[in-house]
Structure 1
Amino acid sequence: MKPVIVVHGGAWAIPDTLAEASVAGVKAAALAGSEVLKRGGRALDAVEAAVRMMEDDLVFDAGHGAVLNTDGEVELDAIIMEGETLAAGAVSSVRNIGNPVSLARAVMEKTDHVMLTGRGANLFAESIGVPTLPTDALVTEEERKEWEHRYKRYTVGVKELFNSQWGHDTVGAVALDSFGNVACATSTGGIRNKMVGRVGDSPVIGSGGYADNKTGAVSCTGHGESILKVTLARLILFHMDQGRTASEAAKSSLQFMRKRVQGCGGAIVVSPKGDWSATFTTERMAWAAVDENVLCYGLNPKEELKESLK
């Protein structure tokens, strides 16, 4: 089986000032995940490596670079899932953790649970020696200034942020390894000025991500409440199970979400045969994929650029 990895850095109206850095970030993440696959590593390891790299990149709203809630605090969500056994782990409303995707994997591998939230997730992190960081270490100076300048109540913020240019992005990865296994991972800091304790789609199985060797793997991005309402990841895989390609399944599901709940977003998808897609209905989505010896990437609608890796 030929390995494939696809990553995204969030579907939203990415401003020109962040465009170059966003594309560079997803390309680097895709290459990092691809290196894992080329060494014979598992899809699960590849998606974790790719998402960790984006969590460490300040340009993305995940881990380092996360946005702030109404109290000016960081609350992080993440999920990771592998398609062979449907094992999954997730964390939500986590504070002071630089790489929540790895904490989600620890929940999957070291507990009998699937999701830990808030204080419990942080206590678990402490119990297994995951280092914590002060909020200031996870937030850029620009984010702090933006939050202070544009602080509003969440009810107003949703209207402004819903499918808007003021940013709600997520990072994610899907992969197929040489053993025929698929995996997904998604991580986010959520929507700026969200209510304390708000959880979007990212850590929810079937919404922010899903992986099943029988149908494929998906990682979603966009307006979390809309994605939750239509369980977007599972909806995409449902269409693939009906015989549609990765691209067809993603497009029809995103169109349904827009029509049914007026929500925009994006998704990356890979099938068990290596068919993959990066699709979005927002103004832009930074994405990249490594398929054999070709690095594909894009930012704008219908854009697919390629670089040979030979």
Structure 2
Amino acid sequence: MNRILIILMALSAAFCSKNPTSDSETAAVTEKPAYAIVIHGGAGTILPENITGEQEAAYREALNTALTIGEDILNAGGSSRDAVEQTIIYLEDSPLFNAGKGAVFTSDGQNELDASIMDGATRNAGAVGGLHHVRNPIRAARAVLEHSRHVLLTGAGAETFAIEQGLDTVAADYFYTESRWEALERARAKEDQKSGALLHVDYKYGTVGCVALDKDGNITAGTSTGGMTNKRYGRFGDVPVIGAGTYADNATCGVSCTGHGEYFIRYAVGHDMTALMAYKGMSLEAAGQHIIHEKLKEAGGAGGLIAIDKNGNITMPFNTPGMYRGYARPGEREVGLFGEMAE
């Protein structure tokens, strides 16, 4: 009997010591940290064989730089709102990510930019969609949050508002990058000429996002994107839709999503995270796992999310081969691209 008990205990210990699965990364805490920050730069078929060593190094450096920008603000006692905005501005200014400077092209060869931000203390939010000339859409989203009685502004009206707020605007060719133009040409070449159906050519959902918890216990979540390559008809994904791509509530968590936007809208993923925690008592990790690996996956939705709860726990589930991501807390930092975190 004792021998059987010893064997069972050994098997249990071995099971519990296994690393979390690569697409279910969670950073739990035993004591609430002074601050926490988590970022993403898109999810999809991100595999080592599809990226050069130089490109991988560039992405890791960009993720680490973004984390440093946000962490420095939080460590100095700054607000989660400032940390999220400044972190996303850096990601928008990088041509590596599908947001701001690195935005993809629509079917008519334009760049259309969307962004949103939400304050977990007040549950106030600001969002913009269909921008063509605002250099940093996340700044426009914050301006809507702070200086408008509305939540979502789009198109020419959103750009007029941004100009009235003194935000930087640029000529349309500022957003041009050769790699994104080539992606559009590939999409056009593979488009179903008979039906005109849009095809997913580059299986990578390039959104950027950030969630932060500051020393005052306030959570802010923000997301920014250039949308979908070869999109038409003024399409919006989940990013500017509060409760879909972005959500924050100090009582539960903050969330930023990346993936096939239509599914994140239909399943109200951002709000669903907080609802599962508030109404069913689920943990941050359990809620994220359920949404990404069960609800979305069963429906055919691809992507992932990042989230921080009120206690500083972090989760980053994704159901795609990879997701650009990283997090930092006092004395702790990780970044990852593929199925496992970097050491």
SS at match of 2:204: coil
Give the match for residue 51 of structure 2: 16
The aligned counterpart of 1:208 is 245
Q: Does 1:173 align with 2:210?
A: yes
Counterpart position of 1:283: 321
Q: CA deviation at 1:168?
A: 2.3
Per the TM alignment, residue 156 of structure 1 is displaced from its structure 2 partner at its CA by 5.9
Q: SS at 1:217's partner residue?
A: strand
**What is the CA-CA distance between 1:24 and the residue it aligns to?**
2.2
Q: Does residue 106 of structure 1 match 2:143?
A: yes
Compared with structure 1, are the counterparts of its residues 26 and 61 closer, same or farther at alpha carbon in structure 2 (3 Å cutoff)? same
What is residue 292 of structure 1 aligned with on the other side? 330
Matched, 1:77 2:117: no
**Counterpart check, 1:5 vs 2:42:** no
Partner secondary structure for residue 257 of structure 2:
strand
Which deviates further from its counterpart, 177-186 or 18-27? 18-27
- 1:253 aligns to what? 291
Counterpart CA distance in 2 for 1:156 and 1:40 is 52
CA contact (8 A) 1:257 1:264 kept: no
> Could you tell me which residue of structure 2 aligns to residue 35 of structure 1?
72
3-state SS of the aligned residue for 2:140? helix
| TM-superposition CA deviations, 1:190-238 (whole Å, max 9, x none) | 1100014110001111110100001110000000011111011111222
Q: Normalising by structure 2, what TM-score? A: 0.84
Q: Deviations over 1:67-108 (max 9, x none)?
A: 000110010000011110111100001111111001100011
1-structure distance, mates of 2:200, 2:40: 23
1:282 to 1:156, Cα distance in 2 relative to 1, 3 A: farther
Deviation at 1:243, TM superposition (A): 2.7
How far is 1:296 from its partner? 1.2
For 1:31 and 1:250, how far apart are their aligned partners in 2?
25
- In structure 2, the partner of 1:160 is 200
- Structure 2 distance, partners of 1:102, 1:61, is 16
Q: Which residue is 1:26 aligned to?
A: 63
The answer to whether the 8 Å contact 2:34/2:214 transfers is yes
Asked if 2 retains the 8 angstrom alpha-carbon contact of 1:61 and 1:189, the reply is yes
Residues 16-68 of structure 1, C-alpha deviations (whole Å, 9 max, x = no match):
14433223222211111011101100111111111111001100000011000
Moved more, 222-231 or 291-300: 291-300
Work out which of the two has the higher radius of gyration on C-alpha atoms and give 1 or 2: 2
**C-alpha distance in 2 between matches for 1:235 and 1:273:** 19
TM-score of the aligned structures, taking structure 1 as reference length = 0.92
Aligned counterparts of 2:113 and 2:164: Cα–Cα separation in 1: 19
Is 1:187 aligned to 2:187, yes or no?
no
Deviation at 1:277, TM superposition (A): 1.0
Query: By how many angstroms is 1:305 displaced?
Result: 3.0
Shift of 1:157: 6.1
**C-alpha distance in structure 1 between counterparts of 2:186 and 2:317, whole Å:** 33
Instruction: Label 1:157 to 1:185 Cα distance change in 2 as closer, same or farther (>3 A).
Output: farther
Residues 5 and 145 of structure 1: is their aligned pair in 2 closer, same or farther, counting only changes over 3 Å?
Answer: same
Partner SS state of residue 174, structure 1: strand
After TM superposition, give the deviation of residue 278 of structure 1 in Å: 1.3
Matched with 1:62 is: 99
Within a 5 Å distance, the mapping from 1:215-230 to structure 2 comes to 215-230=252-267
C-alpha deviation, 1:260, in angstroms:
4.2
Alignment of 1:109-124 (within 5 A): 109-124=146-161
- What letter matches 1:200 in structure 2? G
Q: Report the Cα distance in structure 1 between the residues aligned to 2:41 and 2:177, rounded to whole angstroms.
A: 17
Percent identity (aligned): 38
> In the alignment, what sits opposite 1:267?
305
Question: What is the identity, as a one-letter code, of the residue corresponding to 1:254?
Answer: I
In the aligned structure 2, how far is the partner of 1:287 from the partner of 1:255? 18
Task: Name structure 2 gaps, 5 residues minimum.
Answer: 1-32
* In 1: Cα distance, 2:196 partner to 2:320 partner: 20
Give the conservation status (yes or no) of the 8 Å contact 2:69–2:86: yes
Gaps in structure 1 of 5+ consecutive residues: none
Match of 1:160, SS state, is coil
By how many angstroms is 1:122 displaced? 0.8
Secondary structure of 1:20's match?
A: helix
Mapped to 2, the partners of 1:216 and 1:258 lie a distance apart of 19
After superposing the two structures, state which structure 1 stretch, 282-291 or 125-134, moved more. 125-134
